[in-house]
Amino acid sequence: MPGTDDFGVYLVTDTALAERHGHGVLGVVQAAVGAGVRIVQVRDKTASARDLLALTAAVADAVGDRALVVVDDRLDVALAARHAGHRVAGVHLGQSDVPASAARALLGPDAHVGVTANTTRHLVEVAMSPTGSVDLLGVGVVHPTSTKPDHPPALGVAGFGRLAATTTVPCVGIGGVTLDDVGPLRRAGAAGVAVVSGICAAPDPGAAAAAFVAAWDGAAR
């Protein structure tokens, strides 16, 4: 995947939140990518594999080459979408999902493999993985968030920075990230900021995404 440590604003979709103002996931994604979002994670914990595949395919077709599209958790869905010819970059894996090394072997060297990492132990495990297994770490939660009710204790910006400093893998801050967090997270070493409700639940998701992108671009390391 792109040799970059700047992933910018990373949209994580939430189907229920996207319907709050009638935009739907596709509407939110199209507005956000149009505003400069660089990576979209298709996440729907309650969808069947078939429905998640259809949603992922629709998102990928709508986005084209303007942003990376990855699937949350479901390696099988990512593989099926790629097999069907949709422009899906890869997968983002949680700690209970298949190992990153297995995902890399199945997806190939040019795919994107992200992993959630919340503790020092998780980072040690990533460091022990074969070189090149992981492209990005989702580190959090930064703040308590209702979009992940079973989240671990919040790290805060300082805690995020301490974890990010212990790994060479680019780290994206996730979990309750607000506009006010963007600059501090970038200065703490973030390679990007992942946003769910701040964009998905916004009355104008394009304007919300543009504000996050502007905050990211305006924040000096």
H or E stretch including 83? helix 75-83
State yes or no: 168 annotated in a binding site: no
Which amino acid is it at 93?
A: L
Specify the amino acid at residue 112: H
| Residue 221 labelled as part of a binding site | no
In whole angstroms, give the CA distance from residue 43 to residue 184: 26
178 marked among binding-site residues: no
197 appears as a binding residue in the annotation? yes
| Six-digit token string for 40 | 């979209």
Burial of 101 (0-12, 13-18, 19+ CB in 10 A): middle
- The reply, when asked if residue 133 is annotated as ligand binding, is no
The CA distance from 221 to 219, in Å, is 6
Residue 72 annotated in ligand binding = yes
76 Cβ neighbours under 8 A, 6+ residues apart: 49
167 is in an annotated binding site: no
Three-class DSSP category at 60: helix
176 labeled part of a ligand binding site: yes
Residues in the chain: 221
Question: CA 174 to CA 126: how far, in whole Å?
Answer: 18
Instruction: Tell me if 196 is assigned to a ligand binding site.
Output: yes
Was 61 annotated as part of a binding site?
A: no
Does 44 show up as a binding residue in the annotation?
A: yes
Phi, psi of 41 (to 5 degrees): -105, 120
Residue 186 is assigned to a ligand binding site: no
Was 73 annotated as part of a binding site? yes
Annotated binding site: 41-45, 72-73, 97, 116, 145-148, 176, 196-197
Annotated binding site for Mg(2+): 73, 97
